[in-house]
Amino acid sequence: MLSPMIQHVSVIGLGKLGGSMAAGLASCGLNVIGVDVNRHAVEAVNAGRAPVHETGLGEMIAANQARIRATLSTEEAVLGSDLSFVIVPTPSDERGAFTLQYASFAFKAIGQALKKKPGYHVVVLTSTVLPGATRQGLLPILEKESGKKCGPDFGLCYNPEFIALGSVIRDFLNPDFYLLGQFDQRSGDRLEEIHHRVCQNNAPVQRMSLENAELAKIAVNSYVTMKISFANMLADFCEHLPGGDVDVVSDALGLDKRIGRKYLTGGFGFGGPCFPRDNVALNFMGQQLGVDSRLLKTNDDYNRSLSKRYVEKLQPHLPKGVNVAVLGLAYKPLSHVIDESPGIYLCRALSEAGYRVIGHDNLAAANAEVALKMSALVTDSLDEALKDADVVLVTTTDKSYTSLTADQLLRGRPALTVIDFWRCLKGLAADPRIRYVPIGLCRDDSGAAAGLQPLWA
């Protein structure tokens, strides 16, 4: 007999990902009960406000208030829905693995609720975990607490999302593909039904075992970071070739269908709450299992070395004692997130090398101030950041930086050095008052030619 369509879902964890998922699910007509241990998040959702800062989230929750409510009680949410997404933190531990402490706590509460629930329920883990975590680490908690069996009594899936902060809702509703790890066919069928209700772009569904899906999730992120590092290495090569231009090279590479252009814009390293730690975690897993995962370790080491390496490489443009302004402290434009941010690492590396550093960010200044309190001044005022600067380093493609003119940068001073990681201020090169230093472009053709000569002697 066909099961009736699912109308009620719960979302456990209303943070950066879960908050947007709850709103997205409700916007597609599902009735959503959100759960969080943080009472402020619950209150915000019940008042029709966003529990976290994310593009369009407040508006979407307000527009769908009739179909979203939130509670502190996991039991209430499980009893009132047919399927629960779990999106709680899985922070990295000192070994680089993802801890399950929050997920275990959530699964314990779900298991206790399942004990009281007569019907079938599907539990879907969305948090990022290492392969084996869903079946080996969390399933036993559900069975122990509920006294029931996975399969006949309840279902279990692993269903991560591939989203970027700042476009979480759009990415959730329009994924490239839908990664669905299933304990069994029945669990997967129920989850796929939700996907077809929610997905706006007809994205293909990849169904597989829990373990394959867990590996596929972190493999995607790790692979993308390798592309970024590869492009950064190409940028370095280009600086050593007469006329070298990483954008020209990357555009050519990008036309090869096996490669593609995305994430090949050489410039600065990768950061944020997912990329670096997924890479580290997969390497940890490799070591545990006897898999040779040096590729991942090398990638991580290379990325972490970039800030110091740039400070050394850029010495000719950074005379001792100059004031340095770093524009861009979040790990990407339009974000307040500074986790593993290249801009933050660059400020620290400059400070360690003895420079007076002031960092600027429109959105991330408050977070950065705490992280940089021993190394740099931090401001959200461009005026303040630029007023005493001798050298300006632009680390993100934030519009407020890419639109800067020479006069706005100079502020009446006769000269200034601008180091541009993403080549977004190329027009400055023509201004005699600006010493323009683009990363990834050859800045000295004859020096580069001389450097090549011994290879062909």
Are residues 272 and 330 in contact, defined by beta-carbon separation less than 8 angstroms? Answer: no
> What is residue 23's three-state secondary structure?
helix
Q: Minimum Å distance from CB 45 to ligand NAD?
A: 11
Q: Minimum Å distance from CB 147 to ligand NAD?
A: 21
Residue placing its CB nearer to ligand NAD in the complex, 161 or 369: 161
Query: Which position among 9, 11, 41, 344 is part of the footprint of ligand NAD (CB under 6 A)?
Result: 41
> What is residue 230's three-state secondary structure?
helix
Which tokens go with 99? 């801890």
Q: Minimum Å distance from CB 162 to ligand NAD?
A: 7
DSSP 340-407: T-HHHHHHHHHHHTT-EEEEE-TTTHHHHHHHTTTT-EEES-HHHHHHT-SEEEE-S--HHHHT--HH
C-alpha–C-alpha distance, residues 56 and 66, integer Å: 17
Residue placing its CB nearer to ligand NAD in the complex, 128 or 303: 128
* Position 163 contacts ligand NAD (CB under 6 A): yes
Q: Is the dihedral of CA 167, 121, 177, 92 positive or negative?
A: positive
In the annotation, is 274 catalytic? Answer: yes
Span near ligand NAD by CB under 6 A; candidates 99-107, 201-209, 235-243, 259-267: 99-107
* Position 12 contacts ligand NAD (CB under 6 A): yes
C-alpha to C-alpha distances, 33 to 38, 72, 355, nearest whole angstrom: 15, 10, 51
Residue placing its CB nearer to ligand NAD in the complex, 14 or 97: 14
Set 199, 274, 424, 442: catalytic member: 274
Count of residues near ligand NAD by CB under 6 A = 26
Are residues 105 and 140 in contact, defined by beta-carbon separation less than 8 angstroms? Answer: no
* Position 102 contacts ligand NAD (CB under 6 A): yes
Q: Which residue is nearest to ligand NAD (CB)?
A: 15
Are residues 244 and 237 in contact, defined by beta-carbon separation less than 8 angstroms? Answer: yes
**What does the per-residue mask of binding to ligand NAD show for 51-90, with x meaning CB under 6 A?**
------------------------------------xxxx
Are residues 410 and 434 in contact, defined by beta-carbon separation less than 8 angstroms? Answer: yes
* Position 128 contacts ligand NAD (CB under 6 A): yes
Query: Which position among 9, 33, 35, 42 is part of the footprint of ligand NAD (CB under 6 A)?
Result: 35
Residue placing its CB nearer to ligand NAD in the complex, 122 or 163: 163
Per-residue HEC secondary structure of 425-457 comes to CHHHHHCCCEEEEECCECCCHHHHHHHHHHHHC
Q: Minimum Å distance from CB 173 to ligand NAD?
A: 15
* Interface contacts to ligand NAD, rule CB under 6 A: 12-18, 35-38, 41, 87-90, 102, 105-106, 127-128, 161, 163, 165, 273-274
